[in-house]
Amino acid sequence: MIVQTSAAAGATHVGLVRANNEDAFGINDDVWAVADGLGGHAGGEVASTVAIEELLQQLPGDFTAAFAAAHDAILEVAQHHPGLADMGTTLVAAQRDDDGHIRIANVGDSRAYLLAAGRLGRLTVDDNYAQELLDRGGITADQARVHQGRFWLSKALGLGDAVAPQPKITTVPAPTGRLLLCTDGLNSELSDEQIALALGEGSPQESADALIEQALAAGGRDNVTVVVLDF
Ligand code: CA
């Protein structure tokens, strides 16, 4: 699936190994989002899709309230479909605020990166065990990238808790640049250098397509989803 607006484009691919694509993304004029669903049966697909739809209805506006609404919307669907009881999703979103700044919020391990002045920086911190070990100094950044603990999320939306997980909110530290939102199917396959190269090429759509192609060429072991935004 491909969606494009003037300055933003998204693309998603099931990958080369998985049977279903449990990722989802959404784009409108001032809001961009990517979600990576988890859960058995159709749960992951439902959770990520419900989260994106709810978020696009809620934003622009208060990130914390919008993430809570997405969490509640997943719980609501799960209540009416017992087979989907264990579903959840990551969510990373960007919006243009009234002051013109782009802000990012995330829960889980889907990421935001910024390419500005030729340099790639990561804007989000993962909610997973590998990140916790890294924070405690137990492993290095290189070890965290391949550590099994990256699969154990410490936070996700919809996973049965009555209280919605709080998103971490960051302001993009540049007046202009190119923003990438992605699921871990991208950053598990590609190095920062590979991401920076593909992100720097062509239009947002060309860049999004190139990122997907490279993740597939590197193995495509997971669903892979990107949204690329020039601001
Ligand atoms: Ca994934």
CA 207 to ligand 1 center in whole angstroms: 20
- The per-residue pLDDT for 36 is 98
pLDDT one-digit tens code per residue, 11-21: 999 999 999 99
Distance from C-alpha of 192 to C-alpha of 182, rounded to nearest angstrom: 13
In the chain, % helix, strand, coil (3-state, to 5) comes to: 35, 30, 35
Q: Which residue type occupies 138?
A: G
CA 225 to ligand 1 center in whole angstroms: 9
- The per-residue pLDDT for 4 is 54
> Around Cβ 60, how many Cβ atoms within 10 Å?
15
CA 105 to ligand 1 center in whole angstroms: 18
Contact (CB, 8 A) for 13 and 20: no
- The per-residue pLDDT for 223 is 97
- The per-residue pLDDT for 167 is 98
Contact (CB, 8 A) for 40 and 86: yes
- The per-residue pLDDT for 163 is 86
Distance from C-alpha of 86 to C-alpha of 126, rounded to nearest angstrom: 21
CA 223 to ligand 1 center in whole angstroms: 6
| Farthest-apart Cα atoms in the chain, separation | 49
- The per-residue pLDDT for 5 is 54
CA 17 to ligand 1 center in whole angstroms: 12
CA 99 to ligand 1 center in whole angstroms: 33
- The per-residue pLDDT for 126 is 96
Residues near ion ligand 1 (Cβ under 5 Å):
36, 183-185, 222
SS3 213: helix
Which residues fall within 8 angstroms of residue 163, CB to CB, at 6 or more apart?
none
Question: Which residue stretches of the chain have pLDDT < 70?
Answer: 1-6
Separation of CA 153 from chain center: 13
Distance from C-alpha of 158 to C-alpha of 115, rounded to nearest angstrom: 31
pLDDT one-digit tens code per residue, 111-130: 999 999 999 999 999 999 99
- The per-residue pLDDT for 6 is 60
